[in-house]
Structure 1
Amino acid sequence: MLEQLHVKDLALIEDVWLDFSAGMTVMTGETGAGKTALVGALKLLVGERADSSAVRSGAAEALVEGMFKDAGTEVLVKRRVGADGRSRCVIDDEMASVSALGERIGPLVDLHGQHDHQALLRPATHVGYLDRWIGETAVAALSVYRTALDGYRGAVERLAELEEASRSAASELDRLTLMVDDIARVDPRAGEDSELEAGLPALLHAERLAEAA
């Protein structure tokens, strides 16, 4: 369910916030009021192609934000489209790809209209429809699954960190082993450093001593 929509500098829209409640919402207006622009904003949030020509004249970029509720969880998504054609997506304060945006929000929005593809034709939406048809049992199972998935992903990240630490430790061990081998080849004697320091002045003045001799 779409709970809130924020559109800024998109087509004719300068800056507008819309709050939605449960049930049906109807928006009407004369030609040029911005109805099509709002639909275009929703299309951006479901991962459709961004067109820089849709950025409001004089603006550096267009911004569309949407707050959705999915199985009791709020999801905040943002899509920025620059006048230079660059597009950036954010899902719950984390950068995301356009395809990831479509996969996450696409199943929550069904756009009906001429030439618009229908959600029923997208296999990725079928599981969501089945979950909603099953009801609370599916919602509870989905919550358990997501918790387990988050735990798994956290474990994978931790494993990667430990493996990297292990590789770093192995590299440091190799470096220290080489140093020990070098020292062993030199085979230093106790007190040798004092002898070398005592002979250093003679070495520094070796040329003068040779000339004097």
Structure 2
Amino acid sequence: MLQSLSIRDIVLIEALDLEFGSGLTVLTGETGAGKSILLDSLGLALGNRADSGLVRQGTEKAQVTASFEAPAAGSRLAATLSDNDIEIEPGEALIIKRSVKADGGSRAFINDQPCSATLLRAVGGQLIEIHGQHDDRGMINPKGHRALLDAFAGVEGAAVGDAFQAWQAAKTALEQAKQDQESAEKDREYLEHSVAELAKFGPEPGEEQELALERATMMKGEKLTGDLEAIRSAFDGSNGGLASLRSAARRLDRIADDHPLLKEALESLDRSIIDASEAEEKLNDAAAALIFDPQRLDDMETRLFDLRGLARKHRVEPDKLSELLDELQGKLAAISDGGKTMEGLE
């Protein structure tokens, strides 16, 4: 509400201070009494064009000050002021001051803060609506309908905008969810088949490398088996080389005291037996590691062939098959949960 209007050096008015009470105020007078000057002065304060013709003759500048009730918290006007760093304390009036010089320059202030004419018009348009004989009425201007509706609903400010944005986001998400659901439903049969196939096969990360290494080792074992058996036979049995060395060491031990050279020979023979025993152990270990099992080799080759074939079918690396299974299971679960998701979005 307009509380007061102070005019200085506007056309014929040297100084005028008006106080307005609540309710209807009527200013009457004959033609030419100056009623329109009051409206022109108020329009200047509300951001109308600063016409130097308003300056009273013989003065350097004209000035108008209008005082209004502070806007309600959360109102569109309060938001406009806040967006422009103009804060009004509770109970404080909103004071607009506008001056125009005789040379045409003008300045504007809102609560003693300088402001542009554009901001002044934006604020003034929310404070007062002037109806004239040839003026459009703001209530029939579509540009103001949204503000009137928000004001009537008591939701001026960001509340409606936030709600609208949330609605649009949910609407977009719902439409996307429906598209995803329709697309997923088309893929359900493929997903179910692929998940069942991969789950039955049970691929493991790193399995290809392990199978390839074991296969290569077993194939080496097949090639080396004959040579290893021939070498190990030289150590085995009562007539084997190691058994002969041990028998010779026992016989030499009985006569070693008879001559120093025999003792030296026994010591050398003992070292040979130790080295030969270590060699035998390593040969046995190698034979165990390179053991050839035709059935195991066949199973490995089949598994490796199927693993690589499955990877080619799904266009991934063999090591990625387990990840693919998890991904497809997730998509399949999403199809089942899609209805619940859409219910929430709706």
Indicate the TM-score class for this superposition, using the shorter chain for normalisation. Answer: 0.5 to 0.7
CA contact (8 A) 1:111 1:117 kept: no
Q: Could you tell me which residue of structure 1 aligns to residue 53 of structure 2? A: 53
Structure 2 residue ranges without an equivalent (≥5)? 74-91, 159-346
Partner of 1:17: 17
Distance 1:122 1:63, change over 3 A: farther
- The aligned residue for residue 66 of structure 2 is 66
Residues 1:28 and 1:2: Cα distance change in structure 2 (over 3 Å): same
Distance 1:10 1:80 in 2: 10
Q: Which has the larger radius of gyration?
A: 2
Q: Give the direction of change, closer, same or farther, for the CA distance of 1:98–1:26 in structure 2 (3 Å limit).
A: same
CA drift of 1:128 comes to 4.4
Closer/same/farther in 2, CA of residues 53 and 65 from structure 1, 3 Å limit:
same
Q: Distance in 2 between matches of 1:104 and 1:62?
A: 21
Distance 1:91 1:122 in 2: 28
1:78 matched to 2:97: yes
Confirm or deny: 8 A CA contact 1:7 1:17 kept in the other structure: yes
Give the aligned partner of residue 283 of structure 2. Answer: none
Matching residue within 103, 107, 121 for 1:88: 107
Q: In structure 2, how many angstroms separate the alpha carbons of the residues matched to 1:48 and 1:117?
A: 16
Distance verdict in 2 for CA 1:117–1:74, change over 3 Å = farther
Q: Distance in 2 between matches of 1:130 and 1:84?
A: 43
Structure 2 counterpart of 1:4: 4
User: 1:161 maps to which residue?
Assistant: none
Residue 87 of structure 1 aligns with an amino acid whose one-letter code is S
Measure, in 2, the Cα distance between the counterparts of 1:53 and 1:38: 15
Instruction: For 1:34-45, list aligned pairs within 5 A.
Output: 34-45=34-45
1:113 aligns with 2:132: yes
CA distance in structure 2 between the aligned counterparts of 1:110 and 1:127, rounded to whole angstroms = 16
Identify the residue that residue 76 of structure 2 maps to in structure 1: none
Length-normalised TM-score, structure 1: 0.59
The residue type equivalent to 1:24 in the other structure is L
Matches of 1:117 and 1:43, distance apart in 2: 15
Cα drift, residue 57 of structure 1: 0.9
Cα 1:66/1:27, change in 2 over 3 Å: same
Cα distance in 2, alignment partners of residues 127 and 59 from structure 1: 44
| More helix by percentage | 2
Structure 1 residues without counterparts, runs of 5 or longer: 143-213
What residue identity is the alignment partner of 1:71? A
User: Would the alpha carbon gap of residues 3 and 34 (structure 1) be closer, same or farther in structure 2, given more than 3 Å must change?
Assistant: same
Report the CA distance shift for 1:51/1:21 in structure 2 as closer, same or farther (over 3 A).
same
How has the CA–CA distance of structure 1 residues 31 and 103 changed in structure 2, closer, same or farther, with 3 Å as cutoff?
same
Q: 1:66 to 1:126 in 2, by over 3 A?
A: farther
Q: Which has the higher strand share?
A: 1
RMSD (Å), alpha carbons: 2.4
User: What is the aligned residue count?
Assistant: 140
CA distance in 1, matches of 2:142, 2:2: 20
**Any idea what the Cα deviations from partners look like across 1:102-135, whole Å, max 9, x if unmatched?**
1112111111113334333273x44543343234
CA distance in 2, matches of 1:17, 1:102: 23
Distance 2:142 2:5 in 1: 24
Query: Alpha carbons of 1:129 and 1:21: their partners in 2 closer, same or farther (altered >3 Å)?
Result: farther
Q: Cα distance 1:54–1:127, how it changes in 2: closer, same or farther (>3 A)?
A: same
Query: Would the alpha carbon gap of residues 126 and 88 (structure 1) be closer, same or farther in structure 2, given more than 3 Å must change?
Result: farther
Give matches, 1:1-213, under 5 Å.
Answer: 1-69=1-69, 70-71=71-72, 74-120=93-139, 121=141, 123=143, 125-126=144-145, 128-135=147-154, 138=155
**Is the contact between residue 5 and residue 64 of structure 1 (CA under 8 Å) also seen in structure 2?**
yes
2 CA distance for matches of 1:6 and 1:122? 33
